[in-house]
Amino acid sequence: MQQQGSLDLHFGEQGLKDFIKYSDTPIDRQPAGMNFLSLDWTPPQLGKVKIITEKSSFEIDNVISVMGTQIARRGNDGIQIMDINASLHPEEYTNSQEAYRAYTQLIEQINAKQWKQYFLSYDARIDKKDNLKYMNENMGEIIDPTIKLSFDELQEVLSKTNRFVFHLYNSDVRVDIVVNRTYKDNQKEQYMVRYSFEHFRYAGRNAISDSDEMTAEQLQHAFLKELNENKNDRKNKESKAKMQGYNIDETYTDPDIWQYMK
């Protein structure tokens, strides 16, 4: 692609219109029922996109590719998933100081645009005071996106994991951001970033078997049953986490996914 400025990409029906507007590539309709729409850039001409959600947005530089997914059987829902591959830096390689600066800019955008920590309903809610310990022991998984690690702290994590990972949500959308250090020598480093966005309408319904065939009442019953089962699973995980020396955040509140499912 060639582009001037940033491309705005939405979810839903508007998202479908966005991809059709910006892309010359036809929709890839797969027999499994997933329709894929793509945008691609060839280095060194990388792209810039702005992912727009119900109440916020996320701006991504150095984009290599964007794939939007439409669930064919729910065609009226439009784009429900976006997967984005990008470089952390505009050049092919960078150094640890510039990589740290890009990391701090990522943290600043997350907080300025009010993205919050997201725990799956069956995952232990580890307290943010254990953020660095958890990152070092769990492949760079961040549980407090409000805190900037120091340069030395981030280097410590990367020396063990070669990556750091955010799990976030904002109103109607969740995203996993995985930053991988793919190369390092004494002079240069390379980092690739994967953004996996899901609308809560898709994420919530996809967790329930045969959700498309259910009435509204049946869907709500199945959703509440799933939540209750996940809560029990979470409690078991939190008990194990406490035995491993972790604190549990008893104040964490799940986002209201149901409002987007019904």
Calpha distance 110→127 (Å, rounded) = 19
Structure confidence at residue 25 (pLDDT): 87
* DSSP letter (8 states) at residue 250: T
| Residue 2: CB atoms within 10 Å | 7
Residue pLDDT, tens place only, 101-131:
999 999 999 999 999 999 999 999 999 999 9
User: Can you state the angle between helices 96-112 and 151-161, rounded to 10 degrees?
Assistant: 100
* DSSP letter (8 states) at residue 141: B
Structure confidence at residue 3 (pLDDT): 66
pTM for the model stands at 0.96
Residue type, 121: S
> Phi then psi for 193, rounded to 5 degrees?
-125, 135
Calpha distance 248→214 (Å, rounded) = 36
Structure confidence at residue 2 (pLDDT): 62
**Residue keyed to tokens 């994420």:** 203
| Residue 238: CB atoms within 10 Å | 18
Residue pLDDT, tens place only, 174-200:
999 999 999 999 999 999 999 999 999
* Residue 27 and residue 35 in contact, taking contact as beta carbons nearer than 8 Å: yes
Structure confidence at residue 4 (pLDDT): 64
* Residue 214 and residue 185 in contact, taking contact as beta carbons nearer than 8 Å: no
Residue pLDDT, tens place only, 12-70:
999 999 999 999 888 999 988 899 999 999 988 999 999 999 999 999 999 999 999 99
β-strand partners of 71: 34
